[in-house]
């Protein structure tokens, strides 16, 4: 089974369980917390370690998480570790968060520009996405000077690349494909 299937199956099972128990918001917050913890280099090393036995990992994770997460989330983590899938926890948390936002009708969007965009333009972009996709929008802004100018807009898994960098790349590709001899 490939990595994405594992992450999707486990996170969907947790999502359904949280929905059934009417604690989706709490488990969603748990997954945010777990994502943050899993991004720490020490935690990555711990999760990927083949030397630490699952029972010891469960014990350590309980000490870290017990007072901060729902019992359902803790049980989920126990299952993941017992099945030796703990290295997939960050991906499972990411998929769970995405599923929750999709369920709540929120579209995740990322606007990448070369310079910071003012609030007015940010609002216009959010409103445009809301109107076109008939959804609530969670817009994240990223500044990347490497795109030179223009913008790159990712809406869920759709991408609109109107950056100067991609246009220059396209021109370069066309010029390399043309014969300049008569």
Tokens of residue 71, six digits: 């019992």
pLDDT at 2: 58
pLDDT in tens, 26-71: 999 999 999 999 999 999 999 999 999 999 999 999 998 989 999 9
Judged on CB neighbours under 10 Å (0-12, 13-18, 19+), 159 is exposed
- Domain regions of the chain by residue span: 3-102, 105-177
Distance CA 172, CA 154 (A): 24
- For residues 94-102, give the mean pLDDT: 94
Side-chain-side CA neighbours of 90 within 13 Å: the count stands at 13
For residue 111, what pLDDT band results from cuts at 50, 70 and 90? Answer: very high
pLDDT in tens, 121-130: 999 999 999 9
Q: Out of 1.10.520.20, 3.40.50.1360, 3.30.70.260, 1.10.3720.10, select the CATH number for domain 3-102.
A: 1.10.520.20
Tokens of residue 66, six digits: 């017990």
For residue 77, what pLDDT band results from cuts at 50, 70 and 90? Answer: very high
For residue 172, what pLDDT band results from cuts at 50, 70 and 90? Answer: confident
Q: Give me the DSSP letters along 20-54.
A: HTT-HHHHHHHHHHHHHHHTSHHHHHHHH-SSS-H
């Amino acid at each position: 089974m490939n990595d994405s299937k594992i992450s999707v199956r486990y996170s969907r099972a947790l999502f359904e369980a949280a929905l059934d128990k009417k604690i989706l918001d709490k488990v969603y917050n748990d997954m945010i917390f777990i994502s943050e913890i899993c991004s720490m280099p020490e935690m990555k090393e711990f999760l990927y370690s083949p030397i630490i036995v699952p029972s010891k990992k469960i014990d350590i994770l309980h000490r870290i998480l017990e007072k901060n997460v729902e019992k359902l989330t803790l049980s989920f983590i126990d299952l993941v570790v017992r099945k030796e899938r703990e290295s997939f926890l960050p991906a499972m948390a990411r998929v769970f968060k995405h599923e929750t936002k999709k369920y709540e009708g929120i579209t995740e969007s990322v606007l990448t520009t070369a310079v910071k965009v003012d609030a007015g333009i940010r609002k216009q972009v959010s409103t445009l996405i809301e109107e076109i996709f008939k959804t609530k929008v969670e817009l994240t802004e990223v500044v990347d000077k490497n795109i030179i100018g223009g913008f790159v807009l990712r809406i869920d898994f759709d991408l609109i690349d109107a950056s100067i960098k991609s246009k220059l790349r396209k021109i370069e590709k066309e010029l390399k494909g043309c014969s300049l001899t008569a």
